[in-house]
C-alpha cells in the first residue's frame, strides 16, 4: 500500500463523489430502464471479482458512491491501495441491494474501478522502478487525461504513489512552445505570466535546448522541462543547468515509458513525467456477478418467476407503448428515483 492511502481517499469531498455518481448514472440511464422489469426489486448479492493478478485497487470511493446513490451497500474485502493477489480470480468486495438498482450501478461503478486500478497499478510499477534504482526524484503524470474523468485519473496516480503534476491550467503556469512563440520570447512569456500569478504559483517552461533552459531560469522560471531529450543529452543538459542554477527544478518529459524510464534517472533530474500513465494504460479487469437466489436455480443468476405477475405484465405493456411514442421528457424521475408502484 502506498503511503497515506487512507488520507488520499479523504481528499475527495463527499459532495463531489455524490455529484459524479449522479452524473455517471444519468449518462448511462437518462430515461427508462426496460431491463429493470425483468429482475424487479428483490434483494440480491453480487460479488466483485478481480481478474487481473497483482492489481493495485484504486477507485473504491467512486465505486461505493455509485452504489450508495442507488440504495445499495458495498463491503470491501481489500482496502484502497492494496495489491490484490496473484490468483486468476480474486473476490474483492460484495455488493447488496435491490436487483434492478444494483444492475443500474454496475457499469458506471466498474468503469471507475477498472480505469483507476489500471492507472494505479502502472504508477506503482513506475514508483518501484524508481525506488529500486535509488533515484531521489518524483515520477509524475500529465494533463493527458480523459475529458470529464480527470479527477478519477489524478486520484489514481496518488493511490499508485506518483505525483499528479498540475491538476489543471489554474494550478501552475506551464509555458509551452506555443506560448513562447505567441509571446515573442521565453523572457517575455515568463515576465507576463509572473505579473498574473504572483508569488503563489510556480512557473515552468518547456525547453528544447540548454540555451532555452538558461533563458527560462534567468527570467525567473521555477521549473525547466527538458522536452524530448535523449537520455544522454538530458544528463548533460540537466547537469549544466543545475551547476548554474542550483535551486532550479529540472523535469524530463517526452518519449519516456515504463521500459526505458530508468535511463532518464539522474541526480540532476528532479521530475520525470509520463503521458502513458493515462494514455494507453491497460485497465484492470473487474466483473460483478449476481449470486443465485436459490441453490436450485441454474438457468439464471437472478431467480425470476416463470409466470410474470400482473404488475409485470402491465409494466411491460407500458414500456412497449412508451418506446413507440416520442422520447420522454428527460426531466422525469430517473429510474432509481421512481416512486414505488402499489400492486393492489
Q: What backbone phi and psi angles, to 5 degrees, belong to 338?
A: -65, 140
Catalytic residues: 144
Which residues lie closer than 8 Å to 45 by C-beta, 6 or more apart?
94, 95, 96, 290, 291
Predicted local confidence at residue 294, as pLDDT: 56
Average pLDDT across the chain, whole number = 88
Give the pLDDT score at 295.
Answer: 41
β-sheet bridge partners, residue 163: 140
Supply the pLDDT for residue 292: 82
- To 10 degrees, what angle do helices 210-219 and 231-244 make? 30
The predicted-structure confidence for 174-228, as pLDDT tens digits, reads as follows 999 999 999 999 999 999 999 999 999 999 999 999 999 999 999 999 999 999 9
Return all residues near 59 (Cβ < 8 A) that are at least 6 apart: 112, 113, 115, 116, 117, 120, 152, 155, 156
> How large is the average pLDDT for residues 23-30?
96
Is residue 5 scored above 60 in pLDDT?
no
For residues 124 and 153, what is the distance between their CA atoms, to the nearest angstrom? Answer: 14
Q: Worst-scoring range by mean pLDDT, 172-186, 260-274, 284-298, 309-323?
A: 309-323
The neighbouring-strand residues paired with 204 are 174, 223
CA atoms within 13 A on the CB side of 192: 13
pLDDT number for residue 302: 38
Q: 3-class DSSP state for residue 33?
A: coil
Q: Whole-model pTM?
A: 0.83
Which DSSP letter does residue 245 get?
-
Residue 156's φ and ψ, nearest 5 degrees, are -60, -35
Percentage above 70 pLDDT, the chain: 83
Pick from 102, 109, 104, 114: nearest CA to 291: 102
List strand residue ranges (DSSP E) for the chain, in order. 43-50, 73-76, 90-98, 138-140, 173-175, 203-207, 223-227, 249-253, 271-273, 286-290
Average pLDDT of the residues in 96-117: 97
pLDDT bin (cut points 50, 70, 90) of residue 85 is confident
Give the DSSP letter of residue 87. S
Cα–Cα distance, 238 to 225 (Å, whole number): 10
pLDDT greater than 60 at residue 251: yes
Instruction: Over range 163-173, report the average pLDDT.
Output: 92
pLDDT of residue 148: 92
Q: From the CB of residue 165, how many other CB atoms can be counted at a distance below 10 Å?
A: 23
CA distances from 14 to 10, 17, 116, 141, 173 (A): 9, 5, 18, 25, 29
Nearest to 185 by CA among 210, 219, 161, 158: 219
What pLDDT sits at residue 301?
A: 41
Q: Quick check: 271 pLDDT over 60?
A: yes
> For residue 126, what pLDDT band results from cuts at 50, 70 and 90?
very high
pLDDT computed for residue 335 by the predictor: 53
Asked if pLDDT for residue 310 goes beyond 90, the answer is no
pLDDT bucket at 28, cuts 50 / 70 / 90: very high
Amino acid at each position: 500500500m502506498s503511503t497515506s492511502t487512507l488520507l488520499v481517499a479523504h481528499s475527495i469531498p463527499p459532495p463531489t463523489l455524490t455529484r459524479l455518481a449522479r452524473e455517471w448514472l444519468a449518462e448511462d440511464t437518462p430515461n427508462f430502464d426496460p431491463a429493470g422489469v425483468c429482475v424487479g426489486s428483490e434483494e440480491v448479492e453480487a460479488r466483485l471479482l478481480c481478474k487481473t493478478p497483482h492489481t493495485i485497487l484504486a477507485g473504491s470511493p467512486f465505486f461505493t458512491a455509485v452504489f450508495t446513490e442507488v440504495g445499495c451497500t458495498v463491503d470491501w474485502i481489500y482496502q484502497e491501495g492494496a495489491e490484490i493477489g496473484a490468483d486468476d480470480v480474486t473476490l474483492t468486495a460484495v455488493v447488496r441491494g435491490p436487483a434492478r438498482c444494483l444492475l443500474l450501478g454496475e457499469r458506471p461503478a466498474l468503469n471507475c474501478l477498472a480505469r483507476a486500478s489500471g492507472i494505479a497499478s502502472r504508477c506503482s510499477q513506475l514508483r518501484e522502478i524508481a525506488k529500486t534504482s535509488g533515484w531521489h526524484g518524483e515520477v509524475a503524470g500529465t494533463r493527458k487525461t480523459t475529458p470529464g474523468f480527470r479527477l478519477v485519473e489524478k486520484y489514481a496516480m496518488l493511490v499508485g504513489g506518483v505525483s499528479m503534476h498540475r491538476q489543471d491550467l489554474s494550478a501552475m503556469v506551464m509555458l509551452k512552445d506555443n506560448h513562447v512563440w505567441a509571446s515573442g520570447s521565453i523572457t517575455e512569456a515568463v515576465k507576463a505570466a509572473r505579473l498574473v500569478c504572483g508569488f503563489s504559483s510556480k512557473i515552468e517552461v518547456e525547453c528544447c535546448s540548454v540555451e532555452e533552459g538558461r533563458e527560462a531560469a534567468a527570467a525567473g522560471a521555477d521549473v525547466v522541462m527538458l522536452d524530448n531529450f535523449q537520455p544522454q543529452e538530458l544528463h548533460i543538459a540537466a547537469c549544466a543547468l543545475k551547476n548554474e542554477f542550483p535551486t532550479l527544478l529540472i523535469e524530463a518529459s517526452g518519449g519516456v515509458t515504463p521500459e526505458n524510464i530508468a535511463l532518464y534517472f539522474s541526480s540532476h533530474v528532479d521530475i520525470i513525467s509520463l503521458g502513458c500513465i493515462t494514455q494507453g494504460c491497460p485497465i484492470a479487469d473487474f466483473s460483478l456477478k449476481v449470486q443465485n437466489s436459490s441453490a436450485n436455480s441454474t438457468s439464471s443468476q437472478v431467480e425470476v418467476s416463470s409466470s410474470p405477475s400482473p404488475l409485470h405484465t402491465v409494466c411491460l405493456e407500458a414500456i412497449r407503448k412508451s418506446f413507440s411514442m416520442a422520447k420522454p421528457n428527460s426531466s422525469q424521475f430517473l429510474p432509481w428515483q421512481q416512486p414505488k408502484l402499489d400492486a393492489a
